[in-house]
Amino acid sequence: MTRLALLLDMDGVLYRGRHVLPGVPEALAQLEAAGHELCFATNNGWSSAEEISERLQHMGISVRPERMATAAWAAAKLLHTRWPAVRRPYVLGSAEVARQLRERGMQPVAEEDHQQADALVVGIDLELSYRKLARAQAVGLRGVPFLATDMDGAYPWEDGWLPGSGSLVAAVERATGRTAVPAGKPEPFMYRALLQGLPEGLLPVVIGDNLGTDIRAGRAAGFATILVLSGIATAADAAAAPPEERPDYVVADLAAAAAWIVGGDAISDEHGR
């Protein structure tokens, strides 16, 4: 049996809103018992992996924080990896982004010290103001590295939608005339970073509900992709999707995916890392 490194999205795959999807805890246990490695990737740039793991625990879902990549974590890792000399980034985003940057040895500058910044990181900021935007613009106009946690324009909340990180990133991009380097999906960086430290020889497989983020990132990385129909995308969406967003496999939900994988149905190994 080929052992898989399963890279799972969360909202729409494990739960919807505040409710766990049917059969998810059992499906995760089934996949782990079969010897597959489980990792989780989310464009959430506000909460820490520990906070998300605790919330999932209340839903009956057990997820180890060290196997989870958030957009804040990915942004800090990408900045440290690609621009290791950066020490004093300016953050237009959450306290979690700043915490992740500190974890990697950087010291985010205070608002009033934005002139000293040597990088700009933009994510979701629930206290966005014109002053903050103007200071981010001033930093960005100096040509320093410019990263975005993710480019999600909106995210679902209760019965509607709220502006996502991408809406703030778009404002800074327009104000500076520059394009941010995104860390979250649909870029493949988060998936590749999650694979670091896992055993060799695992076949990476992405499981997600969003064609434009989860599946597109998986395709960009060259990994096999499974679309579950328990979240955003429908079977009709998958059939009509452009090649870069078309999944390799479509199943009803995670429970169906687990039964199919553990049941011995082969997943093509032509998708290399």
- The set of residues, in sequence order, having a beta carbon less than 8 Å from that of 3 and lying 6+ positions away, is 35, 36, 37, 199, 201, 202, 203
CB of 120 within 8 A of CB of 140?
Answer: yes
CB of 171 within 8 A of CB of 133?
Answer: yes
Residues 254 and 196 in one domain: yes
Residues 248 and 149 in one domain: no
Residues 194 and 164 in one domain: no
CATH of the domain at 148: 3.40.50.1000
**Within its chain, how far is the Cα of 178 from the centroid?**
23
Tally of structural domains, the chain: 2
182, 216, 241 - which closes a domain:
182
Domain contains 161: yes
Does residue 205 sit in helix, strand or coil?
strand
Residues 104 and 177 in one domain: yes
Angstrom CA distances, 63 to 11, 189, 205, stand at 14, 21, 18
182, 214, 247 - which closes a domain:
182
pLDDT in tens, 36-65: 999 999 999 999 999 999 999 999 999 999
Residues 205 and 244 in one domain: yes
Q: Mean pLDDT across the chain, nearest whole number?
A: 94
- Which pLDDT belongs to residue 211? 97
Residues 28 and 131 in one domain: no
Domain contains 135: yes
Domain contains 267: no
pLDDT in tens, 96-112: 999 999 999 999 999 99
Structural domain span for residue 85: 71-182
Type and span of the H or E element at 160: strand 160-163
163, 182, 201 - which closes a domain:
182
Positions annotated as catalytic residues are: 9, 11
pLDDT in tens, 176-218: 999 999 999 999 999 999 999 899 999 999 999 999 999 999 9
